[in-house]
Structure 1
Amino acid sequence: MDQVFRALADDTRRRLLDRLHEQNGQTLGELCEHIAMTRQSVTQHLALLEAANLISTVRRGREKLHYLNPVPLHEIQERWIDKFERPRLRALGDLKRRAEEAMSDQPSYVYVTYIASTPEKVWDALTDADLTAVYWGHSNVSDWRPGSRWEHVRTDGSGIADVVGTVVESDRPTRLVATWAAPADEGDPGRHSRVTFDIRPHADIVKLTVTHEDLNDEGELRGISAGWPAVLSNLKSLIETGSPLPQEPWLVPGR
């Protein structure tokens, strides 16, 4: 929190966050257009925001895209605001919802979390059918080789897959990329979205970045924006404590 408050204390850094709130997924050049200072100075400000986990970055070809990460702001809200003013200020929770139209007209979603674990354990938690069944309510089933099919199968014994796709990249334990579609849309490439899991060591912990892109519309973005934080919070709890959250977060009233 000390890093977060130091980052927010500077007007330039607050304006950079405002710019990303208005339009997420901007390059350094795009951000510099609205800040009256050198690229080097803007880069230094962005580095401080990234160190405070207020922004995350994703490489797209030669470009480095910057995304607002509202998780620390949400934690400030819960600790110092919500417990006093929850009825009137609940709308601040909407900062969890991020929509960006960076490289195309299709919306995308980026979520970053930090987990006290190893990259190998985080990888296994994302790909092991038994582990995903514990915290996700579905089993992720595949051999996880590039080009292989994967399925998101219900754990009620029905064998129904609610999501299917193809493994695009598989580099254990640092990067996994797969397409994502409803079974009815499997034969229509235009209805596929794409999920990337970047798993990076971060000192003694792990930085997990989930990027869900090429979403079909704002309605799908809203669903993804509510789903990923719940699933990844449950994953984090399972890895760090040995148990998922006591309630399935996607079933908590009001969320």
Structure 2
Amino acid sequence: MSGEANAMDLVFKALADPTRRLMLDRLRGQDGQTLGELCEHVGMARQSATQHLDLLVGAGLVSVVRRGRERLHYLNPVPIHEIEERWISGFDRPRLRALSAVKTQAEEYAMAAETPDDTSGTADPVPDYVYVTYIRATAEQVWRALTDADLTARYWGHANVSDWAPGSRWEHRRVDGSDAVDVVGRVLEAEPPTRLVITFEDAPDSEREASVVTFTVEPHQDIVRLTVTHEKLPNREMLGGISKGWPAVLANLKSLLETGDALPQAPWEMNANAHA
């Protein structure tokens, strides 16, 4: 049995249990929960919940991010997306897309109808975004890909420019000849080659607090696990944007490191044309 088939079997096995599906639903509603919080939501003892979580983590459906002494659990949608691509979309993509659009519109309308107006002036909290990918590379290669201006220009379409010392400014510069800067920030932490924390300001003239991006690089033999956590998001509009942007950028990074070339077309262009 191939490694890909075995990985898919783990995903199907994990999804077959209603308790584990409930856990995924709870994380979809509120990402970044501790074990204790999940136990409260599913009404289960810690030992039983841990066994279910271990299976979800093993299948790649849940990612764990350490925050001090806490272990926070995040939903990782990539395996489910791969199931959709392999087992669903290819059969009748146009009809399924149309049905999905109708269903989504109905659900959005229902949510809008059921959500009371907020008269307190306090908006619903925006969840953190976490994305995990595995790359055949060394930690040093991934670190260089994240911090080298020439490499970021190849897979991101922007050059990330900084000396990457804590406290230093970094800039996300266009490479179309204009040298325009679309994102700026500060380096909060830099521990080559395993951890980089930066602020991320895509509207630096606004008064809102900057969001924070953490890159965690964990080497394991011939591969690394790269986890990107984007926190302190100001609104759900930005969450929607980065939820499309980060997977596209990191797919291009992965392709560059594993094959020597970025993807033949910029993957974020698919998102731009999705509703064309």
User: TM-score when scaled to structure 2?
Assistant: 0.83
Note the C-alpha offset of 1:183. 5.9
Partners of 1:111 and 1:62 in 2: how far apart? 21
Amino acid at match of 1:86: R
Amino acid at match of 2:268: W
Note the C-alpha offset of 1:36. 4.2
For these two proteins, the number of residue pairs brought into alignment is 243
Corresponding residue for residue 80 of structure 2 = 73
Corresponding residue for residue 139 of structure 1 = 159
Amino acid at match of 2:61: L
Partners of 1:169 and 1:126 in 2: how far apart? 14
Amino acid at match of 1:137: G
Higher relative contact order (CA 8 A, sep 6+): 1
Note the C-alpha offset of 1:26. 1.3
Partners of 1:123 and 1:75 in 2: how far apart? 27
Partners of 2:65 and 2:22 in 1: how far apart? 20
The gaps in structure 1 that reach 5 residues or longer are 95-103
Amino acid at match of 2:129: Y
Partners of 1:174 and 1:35 in 2: how far apart? 34
Corresponding residue for residue 97 of structure 1 = none
Partners of 2:200 and 2:265 in 1: how far apart? 26
* Cα-to-partner distance string for 1:150-180 (whole Å, 9 max, x where unaligned): 1111101222111111000000110000001
Amino acid at match of 1:50: V
Within the alignment, does 1:19 sit opposite 2:19 as a pair?
no
Partners of 2:151 and 2:168 in 1: how far apart? 20
Query: Which of residues 117, 138, 157 is equivalent to 1:118?
Result: 138
Query: Which of residues 242, 246, 268 is equivalent to 1:228?
Result: 246
SS of match in other structure, 2:11: helix
Amino acid at match of 1:79: R
Amino acid at match of 2:209: R
Query: Which of residues 59, 83, 94 is equivalent to 2:66?
Result: 59
Q: Is the 8 A contact 2:134 2:224 kept in 1?
A: yes
Within the alignment, does 1:29 sit opposite 2:29 as a pair?
no
Partners of 2:127 and 2:19 in 1: how far apart? 27
User: TM-score when scaled to structure 1?
Assistant: 0.89
* Cα-to-partner distance string for 1:192-222 (whole Å, 9 max, x where unaligned): 1110001101343111110111111111111
Q: Is the 8 A contact 1:185 1:191 kept in 2?
A: no
Note the C-alpha offset of 1:250. 1.1
Note the C-alpha offset of 1:52. 1.0
Q: Is the 8 A contact 2:31 2:127 kept in 1?
A: no
Q: Is the 8 A contact 1:185 1:192 kept in 2?
A: no
Note the C-alpha offset of 1:87. 2.4
Determine what percentage of the aligned residue pairs are the same residue.
65
Amino acid at match of 2:190: S
Partners of 2:41 and 2:201 in 1: how far apart? 38
Amino acid at match of 1:212: H
SS of match in other structure, 1:159: coil
Alpha-carbon distance change, 7 to 202 in structure 1, aligned in 2, over 3 angstroms: farther
Partners of 1:32 and 1:108 in 2: how far apart? 20
Alpha-carbon distance change, 228 to 17 in structure 1, aligned in 2, over 3 angstroms: same
Partners of 2:32 and 2:154 in 1: how far apart? 33
Corresponding residue for residue 197 of structure 1 = 215
Corresponding residue for residue 161 of structure 1 = 181
- Greater Cα radius of gyration, structure 1 or 2: 2
Within the alignment, does 1:206 sit opposite 2:229 as a pair?
no
Partners of 1:171 and 1:10 in 2: how far apart? 40
Partners of 2:34 and 2:21 in 1: how far apart? 17
Partners of 1:170 and 1:236 in 2: how far apart? 21
Partners of 1:114 and 1:42 in 2: how far apart? 26
Partners of 2:13 and 2:41 in 1: how far apart? 22
Partners of 1:30 and 1:85 in 2: how far apart? 39
* Cα-to-partner distance string for 1:30-72 (whole Å, 9 max, x where unaligned): 1111334321121121111111110111223332211110000
Note the C-alpha offset of 1:185. 2.9
